[in-house]
Amino acid sequence: MIYGKRVRLRAIEKEDLPQFVAWLNDPEVRRGLSNVIPFSLTSEEKWFEDLQEKPPPEQSLAIEIQPEENGEWVFVGGGGFFDFDWRVRQAEVGIHIGEKKYWDQGFGTRVMRLLLKHGFDTLNLNRISLRVKDNNPRAIRAYEKVGFVEEGLLRQAYFYGGEYVDMHLMSVLRSAWEEL
């Protein structure tokens, strides 16, 4: 496991899949993600099987939080790195907190901080990027808090719920992260 302050990342287990399906089928959760089509348990099981074939650094992780200091750990979402370019030492990162009762409590910021530490200190990445939709200001704020800066804007690059949405391109470099 990878530990931070009241957040930790662990391997995804097959038993986690029904909860992922429930979150990914919640329109409010899905609004912040790239998924527009509901998921079935069968498709999630296929995704899990494919995940096991990837090298460990490229496998998604389960997010657990500790809502109360020294309390029980609660499974709340998933995240990790993808689209690696090992020659350039860069990857894209993404997270989602599926348990809505833990939104707006700073856990997304803590998880992203932990992922950046893992990406720079363990995986030896130099650049970590992400894409975030304009209609997700909560995520944009969290990303800025941990050092991401906007590199560009893809206008009307996403369509969901009958509307076009701009997509922000953000990144953080190891050198900038180390200065924080």
CATH number of 2-127: 3.40.630.30
Strands 7-11 vs 2-3: parallel, antiparallel or unpaired: antiparallel
Summarize pLDDT for 73-129 with one digit per residue, the tens. Answer: 999 999 999 999 999 999 999 999 999 999 999 999 999 999 999 999 999 999 999
Write down the pLDDT at residue 52.
93
Write down the pLDDT at residue 42.
93
Cα-based distances in Å from 67 to 7, 24, 70, 116, 157: 9, 22, 9, 21, 35
Q: What gap in Å lies between CA 79 and CA 32, rounded to an integer? A: 13
The 3-state DSSP class for residue 53 equals: coil
Cβ proximity of 105 and 125 under 8 Å: no
Check pLDDT > 80 for residue 34. Answer: no
Stated length of the chain? 180
Count Cα atoms within 13 angstroms, Cβ side, for 131.
Answer: 12
* DSSP assignment string, 98-142: --GGGTTSSHHHHHHHHHHHIIIIIS--SEEEEEEETT-HHHHHH
Copy the structure tokens of residue 17.
């899949």
Cβ proximity of 65 and 107 under 8 Å: yes
Locate the domains of the chain by residue range: 2-127
